[in-house]
A = this chain, B = another copy of it.
Amino acid sequence: MKTVSTAKSFGGTQGVYTHTSEVCACDMTFAVFVPPQAKNGKVPVLWYLSGLTCTHANVMEKGEYRRMAAELGLIIVCPDTSPRGDDVADEADNWQFGKGAGFYVDATQEPYAKNYRMYSYITKELPALIEKEFPADMSRQGIFGHSMGGHGAMTIALKHPDTFKSCSAFAPIVEPSTAGWSKGAFERYLGADETNWRAYDACALVKDGKSFPEFLIDQGQADSFLDEGLRPWLFEEAVKGTDIKLTLRMQEGYDHSYYFISTFMDDHLRWHAERLG
């Protein structure tokens, strides 16, 4: 791991780091905020997965998480959203596929299977690096994210309820198998057989019996992607009759941007801190 930059902020350290990912077969960049409490021992870890077109930097610059993370004593890890580099297969004109649009799946189709393995990267390779390099208590991990990253956080929580003690999302894509901006990517990463898509679809995972104690979702009512891409009511339907508790808050007047995310960031950090102990 190489350090790209560090800066003191809110008494902690905001750093940016790179490493060579074996899983994604390329160099990857990520951001980590370490709160001041980490001077006295390991602290809980909260993973933030970003949305389409983003890198690690968007939430680091606009997410406004450091003040509350420093108060609550949380490490915040912000990975990139896809493999990177000139050798990685991509469609430069398509913001819903390829670089910046990894969808947190392990691609099975060529030529994407070589690099687009964000699911394994987020659930295996990067956690091992975080555990090794940072004062992180890996027995207390939470996960959250925005839009495509909300989809990533929810599907990963549903498949790893023993690893993650808390999950929340801002404006998540809850049923990517059927949403216009994700269906095409699923087909090309995972193949035409839609049964293989269900492992990466929060609604399908719940219908197939996966579970997680509770989710917090904030969704802006003025979000231009609400009806076609996000549709949190589908997840509300899916969890009916299950043990999953859903707190879905429709926020009047808010859009899909970091102006929305930052407004409710404190609430989400408190939600996770309460569950991470």
Copies of this polypeptide in the complex: 2
Whether B61 and A61, one on each chain, are in contact in the complex, defined by CB atoms closer than 8 angstroms, is yes
Tell whether A64 pairs with B64 under 8 Å between CB atoms, given A7-B255, A7-B259: yes
Q: Given the interface contacts A66-B262, A259-B14, A262-B66, does A8 sit within 8 Å of B61 by beta carbon?
A: no
Residue A207 lies at the interface, judged by CB distance under 8 Å to chain B: no
Q: How many residues does chain A have at the interface if contact means C-beta atoms less than 8 Å apart?
A: 23
Contacting residues of chain A (225-277) with chain B, CB-CB under 8 angstroms: 253-255, 257-260, 262-263, 266
Is residue A62 within 8 Å, beta carbon to beta carbon, of the partner chain? yes
The list of the 10 closest CB pairs from A to B, nearest first, reads A9-B259, A7-B259, A8-B253, A64-B64, A10-B263, A8-B254, A61-B62, A9-B263, A7-B255, A14-B259
A61–B258 CA distance with the chains assembled, in angstroms:
9
Q: Indicate if the CB atoms of B9 and A262 lie closer than 8 Å.
A: yes
Nearest CB of B to A33, in Å = 10
Q: Is A67 an interface residue (CB 8 A)?
A: yes
- Whether a CB of chain B sits under 8 angstroms from the CB of A222 is yes
Q: Considering the chains assembled together, what is the distance between the CA atoms of A8 and B62 in angstroms?
A: 15
CA distance A245 to B259 in the complex (A): 36
Interchain CA distance A95-B131 in the complex, whole Å: 41
Within 8 A of B (CB), among A50-85: 61-62, 64, 66-67
Complex CA distance for A266 and B71, rounded to whole angstroms: 14
Q: List, in ascending order, chain B residues with CB within 8 A of A8's CB.
A: 220, 222, 253-255, 259-260, 263
**B residues in contact with A260, CB < 8 Å:** 7-9
- Inter-chain contacts of A258 with B (CB < 8 A): 61
Residues in chain B near residue A11, CB distance under 8 A: 263
List the B side residues contacting A257 at CB < 8 Å.
7
Q: Which residue of chain B has its CB nearest to the CB of A7?
A: B259
A7 partner residues in chain B, CB cutoff 8 A: 254-255, 257, 259-260
Q: CA A109 – CA B190 in complex, angstroms? A: 64
The smallest C-beta distance from A220 to any residue of chain B, in angstroms, reads 8
Task: Quote the shortest CB–CB distance from A108 to chain B (angstroms).
Answer: 38
CB distance from A49 to the nearest CB of B (A): 20
0/1 interface trace, chain A 109-121, chain B, CB 8 Å (1 if under): 0000000000000
0/1 per residue, A1-18, Cβ < 8 Å to B?
000000111110010000
